[in-house]
Amino acid sequence: MLHRARAAAVVAVAVLGMTAVVGQTHASPATAVEILPHRALYKVTLDKAASGSSIVDVQGRMGFEWRDACDGWAVEQRYAMEFSRADGDGSVIQSTYSTWESKAGDIYRFFVKRDRGGGEERIEGKAVMPLPLGSGPGKVTFAEPELQELKLPKDTLFPTEHTIRMIAAATSGKRFLRAPVFDGGEPEAPSLISAVLGKGKDDVLPSIKSEAVQGTYYPSRLAWFGPDSEGSEPDFEMSIEVLANGIARLILVHYSDFSVRMSLEEVEALPAPDC
Protein backbone atom coordinates (compact mmCIF):
# COMPACT_ATOMS: atom_id res chain seq x y z
CA MET A 1 0.00 0.00 0.00
CA LEU A 2 3.01 2.33 -0.05
CA HIS A 3 2.34 3.97 -3.40
CA ARG A 4 -1.43 3.99 -2.90
CA ALA A 5 -0.97 5.92 0.34
CA ARG A 6 1.51 8.29 -1.22
CA ALA A 7 -0.62 8.95 -4.29
CA ALA A 8 -3.51 10.13 -2.13
CA ALA A 9 -1.19 12.37 -0.14
CA VAL A 10 0.45 13.75 -3.26
CA VAL A 11 -2.85 14.92 -4.74
CA ALA A 12 -3.27 18.03 -2.64
CA VAL A 13 0.35 18.94 -2.32
CA ALA A 14 1.90 18.19 -5.67
CA VAL A 15 -1.17 18.78 -7.80
CA LEU A 16 -3.28 21.24 -5.88
CA GLY A 17 -0.69 22.88 -3.64
CA MET A 18 -0.60 26.09 -5.60
CA THR A 19 -0.17 29.74 -4.80
CA ALA A 20 -2.97 31.12 -2.68
CA VAL A 21 -2.96 34.82 -3.49
CA VAL A 22 -6.07 36.65 -4.60
CA GLY A 23 -5.37 39.56 -6.92
CA GLN A 24 -1.68 38.72 -7.29
CA THR A 25 0.24 36.76 -9.92
CA HIS A 26 3.22 34.49 -9.86
CA ALA A 27 5.59 35.25 -12.71
CA SER A 28 6.87 32.39 -14.82
CA PRO A 29 8.94 32.18 -18.00
CA ALA A 30 5.81 31.39 -20.01
CA THR A 31 3.03 33.46 -18.48
CA ALA A 32 1.60 34.78 -15.22
CA VAL A 33 -0.54 32.48 -13.10
CA GLU A 34 -3.28 33.77 -10.83
CA ILE A 35 -4.77 31.19 -8.47
CA LEU A 36 -7.90 31.34 -6.36
CA PRO A 37 -7.33 30.22 -2.75
CA HIS A 38 -10.04 27.79 -1.74
CA ARG A 39 -11.31 24.98 0.42
CA ALA A 40 -12.55 21.85 -1.35
CA LEU A 41 -14.11 18.47 -0.60
CA TYR A 42 -13.76 15.42 -2.87
CA LYS A 43 -15.64 12.13 -2.90
CA VAL A 44 -13.32 9.13 -3.37
CA THR A 45 -14.64 6.06 -5.23
CA LEU A 46 -13.38 3.15 -7.30
CA ASP A 47 -13.24 4.27 -10.93
CA LYS A 48 -12.56 0.88 -12.50
CA ALA A 49 -10.72 -2.37 -11.82
CA ALA A 50 -9.10 -4.81 -14.22
CA SER A 51 -10.28 -8.40 -14.39
CA GLY A 52 -8.56 -10.31 -11.63
CA SER A 53 -7.76 -7.24 -9.53
CA SER A 54 -7.81 -7.90 -5.78
CA ILE A 55 -9.44 -4.48 -5.20
CA VAL A 56 -13.22 -4.54 -5.56
CA ASP A 57 -14.17 -1.20 -4.00
CA VAL A 58 -12.70 2.07 -2.75
CA GLN A 59 -14.60 4.64 -0.67
CA GLY A 60 -13.57 7.78 1.12
CA ARG A 61 -13.33 11.55 1.32
CA MET A 62 -10.50 13.99 0.71
CA GLY A 63 -10.67 17.56 1.94
CA PHE A 64 -8.12 20.32 1.96
CA GLU A 65 -7.59 24.02 2.14
CA TRP A 66 -4.73 26.34 1.50
CA ARG A 67 -4.24 29.95 2.44
CA ASP A 68 -1.93 32.81 1.71
CA ALA A 69 0.39 32.92 4.74
CA CYS A 70 1.79 36.28 3.56
CA ASP A 71 5.38 35.06 3.26
CA GLY A 72 4.39 31.69 1.84
CA TRP A 73 1.56 29.27 1.06
CA ALA A 74 0.05 27.03 3.74
CA VAL A 75 -1.76 23.85 2.69
CA GLU A 76 -3.63 21.42 4.92
CA GLN A 77 -5.11 18.22 3.55
CA ARG A 78 -6.98 15.39 5.22
CA TYR A 79 -8.19 12.14 3.70
CA ALA A 80 -9.63 8.79 4.64
CA MET A 81 -9.73 5.94 2.11
CA GLU A 82 -11.03 2.38 2.56
CA PHE A 83 -9.85 -0.34 0.17
CA SER A 84 -12.01 -3.50 -0.05
CA ARG A 85 -10.58 -6.73 -1.46
CA ALA A 86 -12.12 -9.69 -3.22
CA ASP A 87 -11.14 -12.03 -0.36
CA GLY A 88 -13.20 -9.98 2.08
CA ASP A 89 -10.20 -8.30 3.64
CA GLY A 90 -9.62 -4.57 3.47
CA SER A 91 -7.58 -1.67 4.73
CA VAL A 92 -8.14 1.94 5.75
CA ILE A 93 -5.66 4.76 5.23
CA GLN A 94 -6.11 8.04 7.11
CA SER A 95 -3.79 11.01 6.82
CA THR A 96 -3.27 14.65 7.71
CA TYR A 97 -0.79 16.52 5.52
CA SER A 98 0.32 20.07 6.37
CA THR A 99 2.90 22.06 4.41
CA TRP A 100 4.30 25.57 4.04
CA GLU A 101 6.26 26.76 1.00
CA SER A 102 7.93 30.14 0.58
CA LYS A 103 6.71 32.26 -2.31
CA ALA A 104 10.19 32.18 -3.79
CA GLY A 105 10.02 28.37 -3.89
CA ASP A 106 13.25 27.93 -1.92
CA ILE A 107 11.98 26.78 1.50
CA TYR A 108 9.52 23.96 2.19
CA ARG A 109 8.28 22.64 5.55
CA PHE A 110 6.13 19.53 5.82
CA PHE A 111 4.34 17.44 8.43
CA VAL A 112 2.54 14.17 7.72
CA LYS A 113 0.55 12.09 10.21
CA ARG A 114 -0.69 8.84 8.67
CA ASP A 115 -2.29 5.58 9.79
CA ARG A 116 -2.21 2.71 7.30
CA GLY A 117 -3.84 0.27 9.70
CA GLY A 118 -0.64 -0.76 11.45
CA GLY A 119 -0.21 2.23 13.73
CA GLU A 120 0.45 5.91 13.30
CA GLU A 121 3.52 7.20 11.49
CA ARG A 122 4.86 10.74 11.31
CA ILE A 123 7.06 12.44 8.75
CA GLU A 124 8.36 15.93 9.46
CA GLY A 125 11.13 18.07 8.07
CA LYS A 126 12.39 21.08 6.17
CA ALA A 127 13.85 21.32 2.66
CA VAL A 128 15.78 24.21 1.12
CA MET A 129 17.00 25.08 -2.37
CA PRO A 130 19.37 27.94 -3.26
CA LEU A 131 18.15 31.00 -5.13
CA PRO A 132 17.83 31.47 -8.00
CA LEU A 133 16.12 28.11 -8.39
CA GLY A 134 18.21 25.71 -10.43
CA SER A 135 21.50 27.32 -9.48
CA GLY A 136 22.70 24.52 -7.23
CA PRO A 137 21.76 21.45 -5.17
CA GLY A 138 19.67 21.68 -2.02
CA LYS A 139 18.98 19.47 0.96
CA VAL A 140 16.18 18.14 3.10
CA THR A 141 16.46 17.50 6.84
CA PHE A 142 13.99 15.02 8.31
CA ALA A 143 13.14 15.35 12.00
CA GLU A 144 10.81 12.32 11.93
CA PRO A 145 10.62 9.32 11.64
CA GLU A 146 14.33 9.73 12.34
CA LEU A 147 16.91 12.46 11.99
CA GLN A 148 18.55 12.31 8.56
CA GLU A 149 19.63 14.54 5.69
CA LEU A 150 19.36 13.98 1.95
CA LYS A 151 20.74 15.97 -0.95
CA LEU A 152 18.34 17.36 -3.53
CA PRO A 153 19.35 17.69 -7.20
CA LYS A 154 19.73 21.29 -8.37
CA ASP A 155 16.64 21.13 -10.59
CA THR A 156 14.36 19.92 -7.74
CA LEU A 157 11.07 21.78 -7.36
CA PHE A 158 8.75 21.92 -4.38
CA PRO A 159 5.02 21.23 -4.93
CA THR A 160 3.72 24.80 -5.24
CA GLU A 161 6.41 25.87 -7.68
CA HIS A 162 5.92 22.72 -9.75
CA THR A 163 2.17 23.22 -9.98
CA ILE A 164 2.49 26.88 -10.95
CA ARG A 165 4.88 25.92 -13.73
CA MET A 166 2.53 23.17 -14.86
CA ILE A 167 -0.42 25.57 -15.15
CA ALA A 168 1.74 28.22 -16.81
CA ALA A 169 2.92 25.66 -19.36
CA ALA A 170 -0.60 24.40 -20.08
CA THR A 171 -2.13 27.86 -20.46
CA SER A 172 0.66 28.92 -22.82
CA GLY A 173 0.11 25.90 -25.07
CA LYS A 174 3.06 23.76 -24.03
CA ARG A 175 2.49 20.02 -23.91
CA PHE A 176 5.19 18.58 -21.67
CA LEU A 177 6.79 19.27 -18.30
CA ARG A 178 9.31 16.98 -16.63
CA ALA A 179 10.98 17.70 -13.27
CA PRO A 180 12.06 16.08 -9.98
CA VAL A 181 9.65 17.14 -7.23
CA PHE A 182 10.11 16.78 -3.49
CA ASP A 183 6.83 16.65 -1.55
CA GLY A 184 7.76 15.09 1.82
CA GLY A 185 5.16 12.32 1.47
CA GLU A 186 7.80 9.70 2.25
CA PRO A 187 11.25 9.98 3.88
CA GLU A 188 13.04 9.64 0.57
CA ALA A 189 14.55 11.55 -2.34
CA PRO A 190 12.45 13.44 -4.93
CA SER A 191 10.21 11.70 -7.45
CA LEU A 192 10.47 12.44 -11.14
CA ILE A 193 7.12 13.71 -12.43
CA SER A 194 6.52 13.60 -16.17
CA ALA A 195 3.42 15.54 -17.26
CA VAL A 196 1.59 15.55 -20.58
CA LEU A 197 -0.55 18.70 -20.69
CA GLY A 198 -3.82 18.79 -22.64
CA LYS A 199 -5.45 21.62 -24.54
CA GLY A 200 -7.97 23.80 -22.75
CA LYS A 201 -11.65 22.81 -22.67
CA ASP A 202 -14.67 24.88 -21.67
CA ASP A 203 -17.56 22.51 -20.83
CA VAL A 204 -19.28 23.31 -17.54
CA LEU A 205 -19.39 21.18 -14.41
CA PRO A 206 -23.16 20.97 -13.68
CA SER A 207 -22.79 19.35 -10.25
CA ILE A 208 -21.08 22.44 -8.79
CA LYS A 209 -22.87 25.82 -8.86
CA SER A 210 -19.82 27.94 -8.05
CA GLU A 211 -18.62 30.09 -10.96
CA ALA A 212 -15.06 29.34 -9.83
CA VAL A 213 -15.18 25.91 -11.50
CA GLN A 214 -16.88 26.93 -14.75
CA GLY A 215 -13.87 28.34 -16.62
CA THR A 216 -11.37 26.74 -18.97
CA TYR A 217 -9.73 23.59 -17.64
CA TYR A 218 -6.74 21.58 -18.83
CA PRO A 219 -6.92 17.74 -18.84
CA SER A 220 -3.43 16.47 -18.09
CA ARG A 221 -1.70 13.20 -17.27
CA LEU A 222 1.15 12.92 -14.76
CA ALA A 223 3.42 9.93 -14.20
CA TRP A 224 5.31 9.47 -10.90
CA PHE A 225 8.68 7.75 -10.92
CA GLY A 226 9.95 7.24 -7.37
CA PRO A 227 13.65 7.23 -6.48
CA ASP A 228 13.61 3.42 -6.51
CA SER A 229 11.71 3.08 -9.81
CA GLU A 230 13.22 0.71 -12.32
CA GLY A 231 12.59 0.65 -16.05
CA SER A 232 10.10 2.78 -17.96
CA GLU A 233 6.95 2.01 -15.96
CA PRO A 234 5.87 4.68 -13.42
CA ASP A 235 4.91 3.86 -9.85
CA PHE A 236 1.49 5.34 -10.58
CA GLU A 237 -0.15 7.89 -12.84
CA MET A 238 -2.67 10.65 -12.30
CA SER A 239 -5.18 12.28 -14.65
CA ILE A 240 -6.32 15.77 -13.70
CA GLU A 241 -8.81 18.31 -14.94
CA VAL A 242 -7.35 21.52 -13.51
CA LEU A 243 -8.60 25.03 -14.15
CA ALA A 244 -6.34 28.00 -14.81
CA ASN A 245 -7.33 29.31 -11.35
CA GLY A 246 -5.89 26.17 -9.74
CA ILE A 247 -9.07 24.27 -8.83
CA ALA A 248 -9.05 20.59 -9.81
CA ARG A 249 -12.46 19.48 -11.10
CA LEU A 250 -11.58 15.81 -11.23
CA ILE A 251 -8.64 13.59 -10.25
CA LEU A 252 -8.06 9.99 -11.30
CA VAL A 253 -5.22 8.00 -9.71
CA HIS A 254 -4.18 5.05 -11.88
CA TYR A 255 -2.52 1.94 -10.47
CA SER A 256 -1.52 -1.17 -12.38
CA ASP A 257 -4.87 -2.96 -11.98
CA PHE A 258 -7.38 -0.34 -10.77
CA SER A 259 -7.98 3.40 -10.62
CA VAL A 260 -9.44 5.72 -7.99
CA ARG A 261 -11.73 8.65 -8.81
CA MET A 262 -11.74 11.84 -6.74
CA SER A 263 -14.76 13.94 -7.70
CA LEU A 264 -15.20 17.53 -6.56
CA GLU A 265 -18.30 17.87 -4.35
CA GLU A 266 -17.90 21.28 -2.74
CA VAL A 267 -15.66 24.30 -3.19
CA GLU A 268 -15.43 27.56 -1.27
CA ALA A 269 -13.27 30.56 -2.09
CA LEU A 270 -11.12 31.78 0.81
CA PRO A 271 -10.42 35.44 1.62
CA ALA A 272 -7.06 37.10 1.14
CA PRO A 273 -5.10 37.77 4.34
CA ASP A 274 -4.32 41.16 5.83
CA CYS A 275 -0.54 41.05 5.45
pLDDT tens digits, one per residue of 241-272: 999 888 899 999 999 899 999 999 999 999 88
The predicted pLDDT at position 1 comes to: 35
Most confident residue range from 67-81, 111-125, 140-154, 217-231: 140-154
Check: CB of residue 273 under 8 Å from CB of residue 70.
Answer: yes
pLDDT for residue 108: 98
pTM, rounded to two decimals = 0.85
Cis peptide before 219 (omega within 30 of 0): no
CA neighbor of 32 nearest in space, from 131, 162, 169, 158: 169
22 pLDDT above the threshold of 50: no
DSSP at 200: P
pLDDT of residue 221: 96
Q: Using 50, 70 and 90 to split pLDDT, how confident is the model at 16?
A: very low
Tell the burial category of 99 from Cβ atoms under 10 Å away from its Cβ (0-12, 13-18, 19+): buried
